[in-house]
């Protein structure tokens, strides 16, 4: 059945996709999400110049080839316990060494980087927060928007945070790289920030940890803030995180792009139900991964 769904979505003709896209807009698909979807369907976002400058920097990083750099890998599902509560401080995963080439390719590719850029640009986000800088590639896409006044990005690896800093300086971005674990950096950053317009959560891909980071950020959001959850199909555990998060009453809209999930904060009162936009039916079905064979087991709590 899964395979059949993949086939159906991928074989939609261009006119059918265009018709479905118009329908979604008529139904009130929020503007930043519509811009990102239009780009994925029609390659029409005006992103060429942004892609060009960032991909040149990525190529430079790749040239360092086999040189090794430390990265924090995502921990096993369940490593933060089974339930989220305000006091947890999720333990990060193992520290591994990746080659510079691999690190350059770990960053969002030019298509999804452009989606990030369009979400930031079309929502006019001024204050942006990123969890997981790696080499600074996604931070470069997010902060390419002319509306960005400051981007805070957090990275637990000292070597990667230096690399991200270098990337963002080369591109002359208004960005601050924080070298710390997510929770420790949030302790410092959150009291300094009045409101977060856009947050990108892209590291520590474990269900309870992901929900925890959203819960930490939530008090600093406003109606219209955008929260982007990356790698929601990386594992069944992350898919479960998305299914939980996308139903939270704080969100008025939740769009499932397949690899990423995008939520928009609503008025804290008045919105009872989150509108769910299943964009996979238009973009193609994303298979859920099984890193290290991790899958849901009997007895696992689905939040
Ligand atoms: C998938 S990569 C980020 C890719 C980047 N956003 C991009 O697209 O260019 C995730 C990053 O988060 C960092 N990380 C993972 N868990 C962390 C934690 N608990 N605290 C700080 N950094 C963490 C890793 O070292 C890694 O560089």
pLDDT in tens, 66-103: 999 999 998 888 888 887 877 899 999 999 999 999 99
- The contacts of residue 270 (CB under 8 Å, 6+ apart) are none
In a domain, 233, yes or no: yes
Q: What is the CATH number of the domain that holds 207?
A: 3.40.50.150
**Residue-wise DSSP of 40-66:** HHH--SS-HHHHHHHHHHHHHHHHTTT
Q: What is the pLDDT of residues 260-296, one digit of tens each?
A: 999 999 975 555 689 999 999 999 999 999 887 777 6
Q: What angle do CA 19, 20, 26 make, to 5 degrees?
A: 90
| Residue 206 Cα to ligand 1 middle (Å) | 12
In a domain, 33, yes or no: yes
pLDDT at 252: 96
pLDDT at 137: 98
61 lines ligand 1 (CB under 6 A): no
Which ligand 1 atom minimizes the distance to the CA of 130? 6
178 lines ligand 1 (CB under 6 A): no
Q: Give which of 159, 53, 55, 168 is closest to 105, Cα–Cα.
A: 55
113 lines ligand 1 (CB under 6 A): no
Q: Is the pLDDT of residue 29 over 60?
A: yes
In a domain, 302, yes or no: no
- Per-residue pLDDT, averaged over 192-208, amounts to 97
pLDDT at 9: 63
pLDDT at 1: 42
Distance CA 179, CA 118 (A): 27
pLDDT at 302: 66
- The contacts of residue 217 (CB under 8 Å, 6+ apart) are 129, 186, 190, 196, 199, 201, 227
Give 2's pLDDT tier (boundaries 50, 70, 90): very low
Domain count, the chain: 1
Which ligand 1 atom minimizes the distance to the CA of 132? 12
Nearest residue (CA) to ligand 1, atom 19? 92
| Residue 121 Cα to ligand 1 middle (Å) | 23
Written as six digits, the tokens of 19 are 């018709």
In a domain, 301, yes or no: no
- Per-residue pLDDT, averaged over 161-176, amounts to 98
User: For the whole model, what pTM was predicted?
Assistant: 0.94
In a domain, 298, yes or no: no
136 phi-psi bin (left φ>0, alpha ψ -120 to 50, beta other): left
In a domain, 303, yes or no: no
Give 193's pLDDT tier (boundaries 50, 70, 90): very high
Distance CA 104, CA 137 (A): 8
157 lines ligand 1 (CB under 6 A): yes
Q: Is the pLDDT of residue 151 over 80?
A: yes
Distance CA 197, CA 112 (A): 19
Distance CA 212, CA 10 (A): 35
Domain that holds residue 85: 2-293
């Amino acid at each position: 059945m899964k395979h059949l769904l993949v086939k159906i979505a991928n074989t939609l003709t261009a006119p059918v996709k265009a018709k479905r896209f118009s329908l979604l807009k008529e139904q009130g698909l929020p503007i930043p999400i519509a811009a990102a979807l239009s780009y994925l369907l029609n390659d029409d976002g005006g992103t060429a110049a942004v892609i060009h400058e960032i991909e040149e920097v990525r190529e430079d990083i790749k040239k360092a080839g086999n040189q090794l750099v430390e990265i924090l890998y995502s921990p096993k599902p369940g490593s933060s316990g089974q339930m989220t509560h305000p006091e947890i401080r999720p333990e990060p995963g193992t520290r591994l060494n990746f080659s510079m080439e691999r690190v350059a390719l770990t960053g969002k590719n030019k298509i999804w980087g452009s989606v990030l850029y369009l979400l930031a640009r079309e929502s006019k986000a001024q204050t942006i927060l990123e969890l997981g800088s790696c080499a600074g590639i996604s931070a470069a896409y997010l902060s390419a928007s002319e509306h960005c006044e400051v981007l805070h990005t957090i990275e637990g690896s000292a070597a990667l945070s230096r690399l991200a800093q270098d990337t963002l300086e080369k591109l002359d971005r208004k960005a601050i790289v924080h070298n710390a674990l997510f929770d420790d950096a949030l302790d410092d950053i959150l009291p300094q920030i009045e409101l977060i317009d856009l947050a990108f959560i892209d590291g520590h891909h474990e269900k309870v940890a992901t929900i925890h980071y959203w819960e930490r950020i939530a008090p600093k959001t406003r109606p219209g803030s955008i929260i982007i959850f990356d790698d929601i199909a990386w594992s069944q555990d992350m898919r479960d995180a998305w299914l939980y998060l996308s139903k939270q009453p704080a969100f008025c809209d939740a769009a499932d792009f397949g690899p990423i999930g995008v939520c928009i904060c609503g008025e804290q009162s008045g919105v009872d139900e989150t509108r769910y936009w299943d964009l996979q039916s238009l973009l193609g079905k994303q298979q859920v991964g099984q890193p290290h064979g991790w899958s849901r087991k009997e007895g696992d709590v689905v939040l």
